Chains A and B, each alone.
Chain A
């Protein structure tokens, strides 16, 4: 059936798109690694080493859960959408939705 081949083609295209996006993100200036996680910290895709990303997953998912709870408690109709952790040398940016987390670690520099 043509629909099934279309599905296969579209999922392949999707995969390519996802890879493209990750490549584009990681080639931006200052970006050190890009990781995509599920909400409970399992690694889907990453450009860093596997252990490092697993560690990121375990720790950041907990942080995101706590932060989301805080936001819900402070304002009951608001939700967490983006987290930025600024350290001395890096900036960790987390974008989230209901099921997934996108983590980018960059070292910000002036142009």
Chain B
């Protein structure tokens, strides 16, 4: 209670003090007003006041009065008046612009207390109206005070002039000048026309250029002589001519006119395809390859049924030309070989590699084995060396045995050496077997002239020799038989060197052990091979042939079974006769024959068994069309089995 009373007393005292101070201050200010010349600062403010009054007049006083009378405390009013004055000054001086209000407004919230109320935010007219309501008022006091002038640069108002900027500049209409509608239309039209004209001009230009280009194209262009000469000499051009002429020749060879109109009267009849007779279809001869040379070997390609490879021996008239030649002929390209390969000595045997379509393998007179690649040039890409590791005598037999992944080349030369090679490593043979016959007359060497493997056999083979005997040989030691020649079981019947030996093809397993031999004793014999698994006899014994074909009048050089017909084989002899035999029909005489005019060295059936390629001593490879003769009938197999049975095999 006492506390509160004391406090109240204190507060009352304070309030009284404050009031007395206010009164004093008021008296002081009145005194200063009445003394106009008292201080310099006061005179300054007076001058300013007078100046302002004279300039502005009522407008100034109006806001000041409500300020001075409306505010509660004198101190506040003075400040407010001062501020208000300043604000009004600035408001007055910047009547035309809108500068002052943001400035004043910026200052007022911070400086004036809220007690001033709505006056600071009010504009001068509003204040003026408020001020008039109060009537008379005293001249407000001016005092100088410092304040910071913020001068904001005017906010740039970007004005876009949305007009077409014409290229020639022209007369740009000012923003202020108004365009009449007609003028607008006119201008738009002008511009559009201008565009059109430009487009038309461009179009014209383009068509003109096109016409020029066309004219240039249709002009006939000629080569100068130097250009022509340089082209003719370039190897690029030669390669082009070579390649495209080959393509052209194959294309030109097609005989069938596919646009023939059958409703028109036919002037000639079509020839029958096939037929009963064997006839000559093609003959391949090329001066470079065939002249003065003989065909030594022939083989068809398994991959491309139209390709035949032929091996040629030496041309004695031209010692500068390579001794050995191999030519790959295409039955669609009659005039010249597809590929020609060279060799340093006569090539005696050649064949396509079954497992790589680009490789051609050959055996030479020098004992070398040569490998050519159709992608490479004419020289062999791989050769066996002429060292004692390989053959040093002519290679008359070559055969690839095995499967795609594991195949080897077996070669036999006339010194009795049989080697097996890996086709990519011809530096040395994988294995060598010396075929030696101890009971031979002068030497135990066996001169192998031909060799063949029975179907599916890769280790046991039969060799034909120059003495006229054929022997069985093994590559490896087997149960019951040693590696090397089996000298005890001799297939002896021929009295002259055996020229060829060929096993029955794998048509049927029954006949897989039948083989034919031909010899220079004018005969061909049919034999049955002793089974390789049977152990060799310890005493020399002769095996007799099943049958003799002696209807020949000269050396018989080759006899080959047909790959499709079990009882058909063809023979080639020195009279040039290509004879076709069918053992089911006639055991003594050939069923058909064709005389080619010169001695035939070799013959080869193609894979489907419809054509025979025959190579002659004059270097010409002839292709004969066998026709229906070699097409087997279902009963032929059984019949042949009976025939063989009758022969006592």
Contacts and interface: CB of A to CB of B under 8 A. Distances in A.
Contacts of A22: 241
A44 B252 contact: no
A82 B257 contact: no
A45 B245 CA distance: 14
A104 B253 CA distance: 13
Given A11-B233, A41-B221, A93-B248, A36 B256 contact: no
Nearest to A29: B252
Contact of B221 (A15, A18, A24, A40): A40
A97 B256 CA distance: 27
Among B218, B248, B270, the most chain A Cβ lie within 10 Å of the Cβ of B248
A108 B257 CA distance: 6
Given A21-B241, A54-B220, A110 B249 contact: no
B236 interface: yes
Nearest to B257: A108
B231 A62 contact: no
B106 interface: no
Nearest to B224: A42
Given A28-B252, A44-B232, A102-B245, A54 B222 contact: yes
A9 interface: no
Given A55-B220, A58-B218, A58-B220, A28 B249 contact: yes
B235 interface: yes
A18 B260 contact: no
Contacts, number: 98
A109 interface: yes
Contacts of B218: 58
Contact of B237 (A28, A40, A100, A111): A100
B242 interface: yes
A73 interface: no
A69 to B, nearest CB: 14
Contacts of B95: none
Nearest to B255: A111
Contact of A82 (B217, B247, B268, B335): B247
B255 A42 contact: no
Nearest to A97: B240
Nearest to A40: B221
B240 A100 contact: yes
A80 interface: no
B228 interface: yes
A74 B238 CA distance: 31
B628 to A, nearest CB: 21
Contacts of B227: 42
A47 interface: no
Interface string A46-87: 000000001101100010000000000000000000101010
A24 B252 contact: no
B238 A18 contact: yes
A99 interface: yes
Contacts of A93: 248, 251-252
Interface of A: 11, 14-15, 17-18, 21-22, 24-25, 28, 30-31, 36, 38, 40-45, 54-55, 57-58, 62, 82, 84, 86, 93, 95-97, 99-100, 102, 104, 106, 108-111
19 contacts: A18-B237, A24-B335, A24-B336, A30-B252, A36-B241, A38-B231, A44-B228, A54-B222, A55-B220, A57-B220, A58-B218, A82-B251, A93-B252, A96-B244, A97-B244, A100-B240, A102-B248, A110-B256, A110-B270
Q: Considering the complex of A and B, which 3 residue pairs feature the smallest CB-CB distances, nearest first?
A: A95-B244, A42-B223, A102-B244
Interface of B: 217-223, 227-228, 231-233, 235-238, 240-245, 247-249, 251-252, 255-257, 259-260, 268, 270-271, 335-336
Given A17-B242, A44-B223, 10 more contacts: A11-B233, A28-B249, A30-B252, A31-B252, A44-B237, A82-B247, A97-B240, A97-B243, A102-B248, A108-B257
